[in-house]
Every structure is written in structure tokens, then in C-alpha cells.
Amino acid sequence: MALTGRAGLLAALGALVVLVAPAPPVAVLGLALLLAVLVAVDLLLAGGVRGLRLHRDGERLVRLGESVTVGLVVENPGRRRVKGVVRDAWPPSAGAAPCHLKLDVPAGQRRRLVTTLTPTRRGDREAVTVTVRSVGPLGLAARQGSHLVPWSVRVLPPFLSRKHLPGKLARLRELDGRHPALVRGQGTEFDSLREYVVGDDVRSIDWRATARRSDVVVRTWRPERDRRVLIVLDTGRTSAGRVGVAPHPGQPSGWPRLDWSMDAALLLAALAARAGDRVDFLAHDRTVRAWLSGASRSDLLSSLVNAMAPIEAELVEADAPGMVSAVLARAKRRCLVVLLTDLNAAAMEEGLLPVLPRLSSRHTVLVAAVADPRVADMASGRGTAELVYDAAAAERLRGERRWITARLRGQGVEVVDAPPEELAPALADAYLALKAAGRL
């Protein structure tokens, strides 16, 4: 039950009646009784909300930063018209609008209401409750009730770095195009035989084939295909730190490292899928948070964003030995392990470095980390003592990162350390470089 502003107005106007009434106490009592009777009558005549049947339709997936509409169909099987307002409650970060919807359903009919969701962060958003307030014909009182109408919308990572994809694919084709003879590195794959033309590397002449035919024949090579790329996402505490500027409003202190890492992982996955490699995905902190394997090349990206969407940074120290074991258990054949984590000297030295040889002895390892542009800003601070102290602290952190990078490189691990917006292209470049060198 709920009252309306009209009931309050009626009670306030009653004060004027009391002023001119011959017997004010009786008038007050009478007005109170009148109001109570009118409210009771209105409540009785209002359409029932308990019997309403509601269900939803609409979208279930949305990219972060885009809007999506969800329909709510209200069916009124009762004998009275249901007129009033509806609140379709969603969590605040689902960005539901409008928050109140007008409703007018005659008896036995149905109406469709539309709520627009503009989520402000990644993950699954569940609808909470639908509350209907049905106002009586006098407009003095209303019946109110809530219904559970389950629906969930999955907010996918936005894949901002897809703008870099055409450029990287062009470089990949370049790599493909300069296939014959010029690149004869270790690990490149035999493609076909063709006639020798002037300028070909004499070392690529296939003498056996030449002997069979009367012409000089060379082998051609192409970049290796069907290699495996395993993207490992560290979802531990260091991935929760926010860096850079969030691409969508509503997150003033930046975007978590995790989201930047996902963005880079998506570009790498898209590129690797086009290059003919198989991409697997593992998210790990103390346990396996997500595992995606064997996705076909056409639906790799959609499977990947689906697997990534519900992952949140956990406030626990990542278990590096457990992560290495999980990788080794899943990657039977040699593959490129791309580890998206943070170059935190203390955490790395105790966690990853001792167990890294187990991983790098069997796989090619690439560590990618998001650098904090704020630290670079601080490091260039000069002029006052405060700024110089901050600069010293920033330099110390950068020194630690340089040191850990040198340690990792010393163990034969590739390291990509780039600011948030540049991480995805830098990681793609590192992948292309490895591919060109035939190190996959």
C-alpha cells in the first residue's frame, strides 16, 4: 500500500475546512474518517498487482560502453485496469534508464515496457525486482507489490584495441608475402616447390627435386602455422590496481590493469587466429578462474569475450607455482605462453621467478605488463622538494621494474612493459616479431 500526493493535498485542504467549520474538533475527526474511507475505497478499487504476470525479452549481451534494451511485458489477467508506475530495478552499474516507467494495462491485456541499460563496468548484471504501484481511480492510494522476473545481461570487454587490428594484419600479410627463400630461419615451414628465379637464396635449392626435373627448383617457406598460443591472465591482487584513463565515464580513478590486459589479450587472440595459430585462454590467481580451449577460429573472439566477461580481480596474492602447474597440465605441446601480469618486483621474485624455468624449458614465455603512466609523470616531477621526493619514489619503482625485466630476459623470457593504451599493439608487435623469427 502507498499513499499519493493527492491524499496529502486533500488533508492539507482539510485545514481550511476546519478553520471555517462550526465545530473544529468534529471537523478534524470527520476529515480523518473521510480520508480513511476514501483511501480504503481507492485501495479496493485499484487493480491488483499480485496477480500480474511479467516476463522479459531482449538482449543478453552488450559490449561495455554500448547500450542495450530489455523489454518487460506486463500482462494483467485481473478484472481491473492496472494504472500507475513500475520500477524495473537493476544494480546501479547496469545503468538502467528510465528508473520509473509509466504503466497502464487494461484488464486482460498486456503492455511492453522498455528499459535501456548502459553498463559502466564489465560482468554479469542480474535484474533485481520489478515493483508495480497500481493507483486507484481516485488517485489517493495505491497498491504496491514486487515481482522477481529473472534476467541477466552479460557485459563484455569492449575490445578497444581492435582499431589496431587492420594494421597488425597488414604486417602479418607482409610477413606472409615475403615467404620465399629470403627467410630461411629455423622453425619456418616448408610450403611448396617452385622454379628458381634469380635472386633466390641458393641454399634453398632442393637438389633432389632439381635432379628429378630438368629445372632448378627451390623450396618455398611460409610462416609457421598451427602453432599454439596460450594466453594466461593473472587475476590476483596486482591486477586490481587502476591505471590510465578509463575509456568510459563512471570510473574516475582509471581502469583496472585486468581490463587493459584483457584488451591486449583480445587483440593478440584476434591476430593469432588470423595467422592460423590456435589460441587457448587461462585465467588464474589461486585457482583457475576461466579456461577456454579448442575454440574454432571463427568463434574464438566471441568465446573469449564470454569467458572474460565475468572475471573480476581477486584480492589475493597470485599463486605462481599453481599457475605454472596449471599451464603445464594443459599445454602438452610446445606453445607460446603469454603471461599478462604486473612486473611487481617483490611478488615476482617470490612467486614467478623460482618456478619460471619449469615453464620456459618447455615453452616460449612472453610476459606482458601494464606500466602506470602516473608513475612516469611523477618521475619527471621537478622544482619543489615534494615533487622531487615523489620523483625519487617513482624512479625507485621503475628501477625495480627494470631489474625484474632484466632478470626475466636473463632467463630467456620476452618482456613487454608498456603504458595501458600501448600495451595491446606492443604485445601484437612482440608476437609478430616472434613469428617472423620463427620462434613459436
Cα–Cα distance measured from residue 302 to residue 413, given in angstroms and rounded to the nearest whole number: 30
Between 212 and 402, CB nearer to other proteins: 402
Distance CA 212, CA 224 (A): 27
- 183 vs 436: CA distance, rounded Å: 9
- Taking the complex as a whole, the smallest distance from the CB of residue 376 to other proteins amounts, in Å, to 10
Task: In angstroms, give the least distance from the CB of 393 to other proteins.
Answer: 4
Residue 177, C-beta contacts closer than 8 angstroms, at least 6 positions apart: none
CB of 331 to other proteins, least distance (A): 30
Asked if residue 269 lies in contact with residue 430, where contact means CB atoms within 8 angstroms, the answer is no
CA distances from 270 to 118, 222, 285, 360 (A): 26, 20, 24, 24
112 φ/ψ angles, rounded to the nearest 5 degrees: -115, 125
Residue closer to other proteins, measured from CB, 11 or 138? 11
Question: What is the C-alpha radius of gyration for the chain, rounded to an integer number of angstroms?
Answer: 33
Task: Provide the sign of the torsion angle of the four alpha carbons 266, 267, 271, 272, taken in this order.
Answer: negative
Please, are residues 158 and 184 in contact by the beta-carbon 8 Å criterion? no
Residue 407 CB, shortest distance to other proteins, in Å, is 12
C-alpha cell at 12: 492539507
Identify whether the C-beta of residue 235 lies closer than 8 Å to the C-beta of residue 224. Answer: no
- CB crowding 129-163: b at 16 or more within 10 Å, else e: ebbbbbbbebbbbbbbbebebebebbbbbbbbbee
Phi, psi of 199, rounded to the nearest 5 degrees: 110, -20
Question: What type of residue sits at position 425?
Answer: P
The nearest distance, CB 197 to other proteins, in angstroms, is: 42
Closest by alpha carbon to 62, among 11, 145, 123?
A: 123
Long-range contacts of 195-202 (CB under 8 A, 24+ apart): none
**Nearest of 54, 50, 51 to residue 150 by alpha carbon:** 54
26 vs 170, which CB is nearer to other proteins? Answer: 26
Q: What one-letter code names the amino acid at 381?
A: G
Shortest separation between residue 419's beta carbon and other proteins, angstroms: 12
* Shortest CB 96 distance to other proteins, Å: 10
CB of 217 to other proteins, least distance (A): 47
Residue with cell 585486468: 258
| Nearer to other proteins among residue 391 and residue 440 (C-beta) | 391
Yes or no: say if 2 and 141 are a contact pair by the CB < 8 Å rule: yes
Cβ-based nearer residue to other proteins, 16 or 202: 16
If the CB atoms of residues 242 and 278 are measured against other proteins, the closer one turns out to be: 242
- Residues 124 and 79 sit within 8 Å (Cβ to Cβ): no
Q: In whole angstroms, how close is the CB of 387 to other proteins at the nearest point?
A: 8
Q: How far is the CB of 241 from other proteins (least distance, A)?
A: 3
If the CB atoms of residues 84 and 180 are measured against other proteins, the closer one turns out to be: 84
Q: Find the shortest distance in angstroms from Cβ 436 to other proteins.
A: 25
User: Is 108 or 399 the residue whose CB approaches other proteins more closely?
Assistant: 399
Taking the least distance from each CB to other proteins, the nearer of 35 and 181 is 35
Q: Bridge-partner residues for 124, per DSSP?
A: 154
Q: Which is nearer to other proteins, 3 or 169 (CB)?
A: 3
Query: Considering beta carbons, is residue 183 or 393 the nearer one to other proteins?
Result: 393
